Amino acid sequence: MRQVICTDFSNGKKHDFRLFKKSKILIHPKVKVITDTGYQGIQKIHNNSELPKKKSKKNPLTKNDKTKKQPKNTV
C-alpha cells in the first residue's frame, strides 16, 4: 500500500473540508481517501472515501471501531 499525504494551508480559521473543496484537487476514482471527521460530506464528491465511525448515545463504538479510529503513526 502506498500513501500520499496532501496538505494545504490558509490564513485564519477555515474548515478542513472547505479548504479541500477550494483547492480543487482532483482525485482518481480508484484512489481510496481516508480522512478524519473534519471531512463530513466528502463521499458526495468522492465515492471511494472512508470516514471514521462516529459514536452516539444509542450506538457506542465497539472495540473494533475504536482500533480502526486510532491514528496510524507509520508511513
Domain around 54: 16-69
Specify if 1 maps to a domain: no
Counted domains in the chain: 1
pLDDT per residue as tens digits for the range 36-64: 888 888 889 899 998 888 888 888 888 88
- Can you say how many angstroms the Cα of residue 44 is from the centroid of all Cα atoms in its chain? 13
Phi-psi region of 39 (alpha: psi -120 to 50; beta: other; left: phi over 0): alpha
Is the pLDDT at 75 greater than 60, yes or no?
A: no
pLDDT per residue as tens digits for the range 20-35: 888 888 889 999 988 8
Specify if 60 maps to a domain: yes
